[in-house]
Structure 1
Amino acid sequence: MKTVYNPQHAGHAATHEFFRGRLVPAFEIPARADYVLKAVQAAALGEVLAPVDHGLAPLERVHAPAYLRFLRGAHAEWRALGGEGDAFPAVWPVRSLRSDVEPQSFAARMGLYSMDSGTPLTAGAWEAAYWGAQATLSGLEIALGDERRAYVLTRPPGHHAGADFFGGYCFINNAAVAAQAARDAGLQRVAILDVDYHHGNGTQAIFYERADVFYASLHGDPQTEYPFFLGHADERGAGAGLGFNANEPLAAGSSNEAWFAALERLLGRLQVFAPELLIVSLGVDTYGGDPISHFKLDRPEFAALGERLAAFGAPRTLFLQEGGYATEAIGLNVVAVLQGFERGLGRAGSR
């Protein structure tokens, strides 16, 4: 399996973040991708490629142009105002406050275009996120070609980013960019399976009223787990999209047996949908040693996940890196999924 690697990720290097109201050392750091790259190369999974620039237009198919303009220039504006280091939002237009007018104040616009205070806006955030989207589009081209599968190694992750806001470490929603680009390339049915510990609120919201992209997520219960305000089981889509959104929230500390049972329920739904492309938002923060998550998967389970995804039999599969914050373990966990997937394809081919 070919890997598309985004070397620009390293420019997004936060030192601290706010985690549930406390200032703590950042969890989403460059070493995450470094460990994965090292593990991918050691496992000899396949060629590692650099991304090709597809420009801004595919991002604008998913994200509001005003949001992208803000994001491109935000850190430079912060520095011009005398700000030092990373910028954090501090005020939000909640409930009765207006969000339809873009304020002149930088602090107000930071709040307008964000969902939390836990996502540092660094000097390299835009370049890292932009090239992450380009890596995603490059990986999609591979998956739509003769290879039929690819893995995109990038950070920051993407699935919390909405059409016009960042948050949850995410700035550009890579899964949404890939799904929309696949539709624009002529595919009729695209599925996104999100196995990150945290619900992909941004991805769900982008496709919630559409029947051409099925979003399915297995995650920690939002009653206690981030992002808290989306990801409940009764969120099934709306309008034309009713029935094309499926959530399987599980209580923190749930067993691996419960996790795989939920996975089977989602795959059953996706089997009926019969996607031409399966996009996997591959978060491995479901690992038992993850510092901010509370499931119990380990390398044997990650390998089993990969094998099960191969057995699902999607004509084309694109893996996109999302979460995973046990830094030294992330590479081995990702490789376990990808190797399991390749083994599963080999068994299918031998039958």
Structure 2
Amino acid sequence: MKLVFDEAQKRHDPKFFLSSGASKPNPEVPRRADILLAAGLDAGLELEVPRDYGLDPAASVHSPEYLDFLQNIFARWSRIEGASAEVVPNVHPDRRDGDYPASAVGQAGYHVADTSAPINAETFGSALRSAHSAAHAAELILSGHPAAYALCRPPGHHAFRDLAGGFCFLNNSAIAAQRLRRDHDRVAIIDVDLHHGNGTQGIFYARDDVLTVSLHADPVRFYPFFWGHASERGKDAGLGFNLNLPLPRHTADDGFLSALDRGLERVAAFAPGAIVIALGLDASEHDPFGGLAVTTAGFQRIGEHLARLERPAVIVQEGGYISEVLGQNLTSFLNGFTSVHRVVKNSRD
């Protein structure tokens, strides 16, 4: 299996993070990529640098207004007298249908949901190359590869069509799914991150061609709070094409896998031509966010269960923060997945 990654994805090095009222160092650091890259290579994957796809992958799921904002906001922000070193919003609208502000401060509040996605001079370039990794992995599938792993850093599943948040700027899983739609009538995204993939859900919520399934810690008292509840089933044409499986805090291997199997039953009923696995390793019992309790052996079992779908698969890296077992968890997942994965049919729908 190919591992798709570009060193330019490490240039984004955020510093600010406000969590539960406390200022902390931002945990979405470049060293995450080093650990995950080494782990992927340990699992026998072959590194491939993505080609430059320009804005096309991002523009397939994000608004032009938002992409213009991401490209230019740091330079504009830096011209404010006494501006902070990173773009961090201090005001937010109470709805999305109000007037669009002209000021950098107003636009930052409109397009950035929280304080965990600070923007610096390198942010857009790194996020774009991360999106290119997702797009390239999807292109590998379309060219006949049974599976590919996109080491996407920064991650993406909290990014909506026009909104950053949760360390995410461009929605890599959505980008991969949209690219797979070129050859497949139906694509499913299975998100196994600690946190709900609220941005991914939002992008596809009214669509019936992309099924979104998310397992995550119950948001009633956990980020992202406002999304990820079991009652969210989609709307309009997408009604019934979104499945959330919120889990009690500290759910361990057996509970996680039981919920995953319920999600995979829904995916099987959808009969997708290809799948995207939004892989969060922050469900680990040792992850600093501490929401769930999946073991290293549990990640191997998760990989095995997902592989039994027997569909061409793009694995997109989402969360998973630095602990003594971060790399081991990725290697375990990949070993489990590759040991079982077989594509029965890899052709156009």
TM-score higher than 0.5: yes
Shift of 1:106: 1.1
Within-5 A mapping of 1:195-210:
195-210=192-207
| Aligned twin of 2:122 | 124
| Aligned twin of 1:305 | 302
Q: How many residues get paired? A: 343
Shift of 1:345: 2.6
Shift of 1:59: 1.5
Shift of 1:327: 4.1
| Aligned twin of 1:75 | 74
Cα distance in 2 for residues equivalent to 1:269 and 1:60: 29
Shift of 1:328: 4.0
Confirm whether residue 231 of structure 1 aligns to residue 261 of structure 2: no
Cα distance in 2 for residues equivalent to 1:49 and 1:255: 34
- Preserved CA contact (<8 Å) 2:307 2:342: no
Identity of aligned residues (%): 41
| Aligned twin of 1:147 | 145
- Preserved CA contact (<8 Å) 2:288 2:323: no
SS of equivalent residue, structure 1 residue 158: coil
| Aligned twin of 2:48 | 49
SS of equivalent residue, structure 2 residue 176: helix
Q: Pick from 290, 294, 301: which aligns with 1:293?
A: 290
Cα distance in 2 for residues equivalent to 1:58 and 1:252: 35
SS of equivalent residue, structure 1 residue 39: helix
Task: Describe the shift of the 1:193–1:20 C-alpha distance in structure 2 as closer, same or farther (beyond 3 A).
Answer: same
What one-letter code is carried by the residue in structure 2 that aligns with 1:279? Answer: V
Normalised to the residue count of structure 1, the TM-score between the two structures is 0.94
| Aligned twin of 2:104 | 106
Confirm whether residue 61 of structure 1 aligns to residue 60 of structure 2: yes
| Aligned twin of 1:332 | 328
Normalised to the residue count of structure 2, the TM-score between the two structures is 0.95
| Aligned twin of 1:249 | 246
Shift of 1:120: 1.3
| Aligned twin of 1:214 | 211
| Aligned twin of 1:265 | 262
What one-letter code is carried by the residue in structure 2 that aligns with 1:233? Answer: A
| Aligned twin of 2:29 | 29
SS of equivalent residue, structure 2 residue 233: coil
| Aligned twin of 1:344 | 340
Cα distance in 2 for residues equivalent to 1:169 and 1:207: 20
What one-letter code is carried by the residue in structure 2 that aligns with 1:343? Answer: S
1:212-238: CA deviations, max 9, x gaps?
Answer: 000000001110110000000011111
- Preserved CA contact (<8 Å) 1:99 1:112: no
What one-letter code is carried by the residue in structure 1 that aligns with 2:34? Answer: D
Cα distance in 2 for residues equivalent to 1:235 and 1:61: 24
| Aligned twin of 2:93 | 93
SS of equivalent residue, structure 2 residue 283: coil
| Aligned twin of 2:155 | 157
| Aligned twin of 2:313 | 317
Q: CA RMSD in A?
A: 1.6
1:92-120: CA deviations, max 9, x gaps?
Answer: 0014xx64422122111100111112221
Shift of 1:186: 2.8
SS of equivalent residue, structure 2 residue 201: helix
SS of equivalent residue, structure 1 residue 176: helix
Cα distance in 2 for residues equivalent to 1:196 and 1:346: 24
Cα distance in 1 for residues equivalent to 2:129 and 2:243: 30
Confirm whether residue 276 of structure 1 aligns to residue 273 of structure 2: yes
SS of equivalent residue, structure 2 residue 246: strand
SS of equivalent residue, structure 1 residue 301: helix
Shift of 1:15: 2.1
Shift of 1:254: 2.0
SS of equivalent residue, structure 1 residue 162: coil
